[in-house]
Amino acid sequence: MAETRVGWVGIGVMGRSMCGHLLKAGYPVSLNTRTRDKATELLAEGAAWCSTPKEVAERIDITFCMVGFPSEVEQVYFGADGILAGVRAGSLVCDMSTSDPSLAIRIHETARARSAASLDAPVSGGDVGAREARLAIMVGGEKQAFDRALPLFQKMGETIALMGGPGAGQHTKMANQIAIAGTMIGTIESLLYAKTAGLGMDAVIDIIGKGAAASWSLNNLGRRIAKGDFAPGFFIKHFVKDMGIALQEARRMKLSLPGLALVNQFYIAAQAQGLENLGTQGLFKVLSAMNGAQV
């Protein structure tokens, strides 16, 4: 039985699996999430319920957090009942949400003032990567804190790296999301073209998914599109949030990213059509409708 006491705040599509891996590894877990029903399975598996994020932080050695939006990160960490209100000296807080790099730095500075450590550690790999413990975990913070958290990260992912100081994990995730934005639009346009030309989408993926066009988006989300499966492995609304952060950071750095800006507009159109709770592959519906095609 592992001795490190673990806290988890935020049980969503990915967090449920990630927290579950720590439970299965023998770590005692205390958790809190906004909707308790989402934690039913984890509680049945032995996790302890806490009424607030503050209570989680008061009980444990390492607190992990994974929520959807920077405003939620702000509340979960800095609210009156937040993690930093209960953080103990010598403990570690680790935000695995995708959020603002500047917010990661604020969390780090506040935790340090309370003699605690902090990491920003967003992930990539979607629901499948979380379920199979194959996530890429990109970490910002101090090496001593990273080394302490690494054995737990290894229960959740297989590609794990310390990218730099506080905020570096979030900047790396922005680079990841910028790359995904480009590959997603390419995947969707490719499959829409194939379908309109009378080709089987699965057959197209079988061949081009093993050549120069191969990508995670094509070989995983492309298969879902072919099946008409638009359920979220990663929500459109969260991808729009991520692209907004990346564009904001790009403006701050005086960078022009026209490809990202264009894809962002297509996803905003998806939101306007009420599709924000679909998976990112739901953009196929938007471009199909623009072209008068049936999904």
User: Measuring CA to CA, how many Å separate 12 from each of 28, 43, 117, 205?
Assistant: 20, 14, 25, 30
**CA proximity to 243, closest of 186, 195, 177:** 177
**What pTM did the predictor assign?**
0.92
Q: What is the pLDDT of residues 96-152, one digit of tens each?
A: 999 999 999 999 999 999 999 999 999 999 889 999 999 999 999 999 999 999 999
Model pLDDT, residue 88: 95
Mean pLDDT of 183-200: 97
Model pLDDT, residue 293: 76
pLDDT at 69 over 70: yes
Model pLDDT, residue 233: 87
Model pLDDT, residue 96: 98
Q: What SS3 state is found at 1? A: coil
**How high is the mean pLDDT of the chain?**
96
User: Measuring CA to CA, how many Å separate 27 from each of 54, 86, 160, 208, 291?
Assistant: 20, 20, 20, 43, 51
Model pLDDT, residue 1: 40
Mean pLDDT of 23-37: 95
Model pLDDT, residue 270: 96
Model pLDDT, residue 147: 98
6-166: which CATH number, 3.40.50.80, 3.40.50.720, 3.40.50.920, 3.40.718.10? 3.40.50.720
**Which ranges of 118-221 would DSSP assign to H, the alpha helix?**
126-131, 143-156, 168-196, 201-208, 216
Q: What is the pLDDT of residues 193-207, one digit of tens each?
A: 999 999 999 999 999
Model pLDDT, residue 49: 97
| Token representation of residue 124 | 């990539």
Residue ranges, comma separated, of all CATH 1.10.1040.10 domains in the chain are: 171-290
Q: What is the pLDDT of residues 229-255, one digit of tens each?
A: 999 988 999 999 999 999 999 999 999
**Known catalytic membership, residue 227:** no
Rg (alpha carbons) of the chain, rounded to whole number = 20
- CA-CA-CA-CA dihedral for 280, 285, 288, 292, to nearest 10: -160
The letter for the amino acid at 98 is T
Residue ranges, comma separated, of all CATH 3.40.50.720 domains in the chain are: 6-166
d(CA 89, CA 106): 17
Note whether 77 and 65 are within 8 A (CB). yes
171-290: which CATH number, 3.40.50.970, 1.10.1040.10, 3.40.50.1980, 1.10.1270.20? 1.10.1040.10
pLDDT at 2 over 70: no
**Among the options 173, 195, 241, 285, which is catalytic?**
173
Measured in whole angstroms, the distance separating CA 249 from the mean position of its chain's CA atoms is: 18
| Token representation of residue 235 | 């929500």
